Amino acid sequence: MSRSDLETRVTPSLLDRLIDLDPRMSQEPPKSRSTSLAELKQAVRRDLEWLLNTRCHIETLDDRLEEAPRSVAFYGLPDFTGVSVKSPIEQRRMTAAIESALKTFEPRFLDLRVELEPVDNIDRQLRFRIEATLDIEPTPEPIVFDSVLQAGTGGFSVVEK
């Protein structure tokens, strides 16, 4: 592994650095940039899935609490269970809610775009494509995720493309 490859490796998030997957090892072996980037993308996918599967139940808020919408109390999405997935109004509302949550709670994303894929009228799923630039040093990386909302359960699954 070249010295420059080690020097430009990607630093994991604080949470991922605190999680020790192998506590018997006192020190992790050095990883290449490509390995650490792949691990970071997997961690971002995991965090994205957690965000999309967390429900925020607070509807109204005192206007004087300016910072509250960016707090943990508002982390997640509204509950879409029982919403008509065929309604264009509800589809736009869901897309906007996903984009808003990502802009607020996923600071690693730049140039974020959330698009609803064409709706299949047979199944009760909505597919969203999430495209962004992952803000990492020294070179930001484009990243694309496909997410599927199961309308019956309200659960999201996320895969990196």
Q: Which domains does the chain have, with CATH numbers?
A: 30-160 (3.10.450.40)
pLDDT at 1 over 60: no
Residue 34 binned pLDDT confidence (cut-offs 50, 70, 90):
confident
Q: How far is CA 115 from the centre of its chain?
A: 14
> What pLDDT does residue 18 have?
63
What confidence tens digit (pLDDT) does each residue in 117-144 have?
Answer: 988 777 778 999 999 999 988 889 999 9
Burial annotation 101-119 (CB, 10 A radius, 16+ → b, else e)? bbeebbebbeeeebebeee
Give the residue-averaged pLDDT of 143-157: 91
Prior bond of 78 cis (ω within 30°):
no
What confidence tens digit (pLDDT) does each residue in 3-18 have?
Answer: 444 456 666 666 665 6
Give the residue-averaged pLDDT of 25-45: 80
Task: Calculate the dihedral angle through the C-alpha atoms of 76, 82, 87, 88, rounding to the nearest 10 degrees.
Answer: 0
- Tell me the two tokens of residue 69: 């919408």
What's the pTM value of the predicted model, to 2 decimals?
0.81
- Tell me the two tokens of residue 49: 């899935």
What confidence tens digit (pLDDT) does each residue in 55-107 have?
Answer: 987 766 677 777 766 677 788 998 888 788 888 999 999 999 999 999 999 99
> What pLDDT does residue 146 have?
97
Burial annotation 8-44 (CB, 10 A radius, 16+ → b, else e)? bbbeeeeebeeeeeeeeeeeeeebebeebbeebbebb
Please name the residue that has the structure tokens 């970071």: 40
Q: Is 78 exposed, middle or buried (0-12, 13-18, 19+ CB in 10 A)?
A: middle
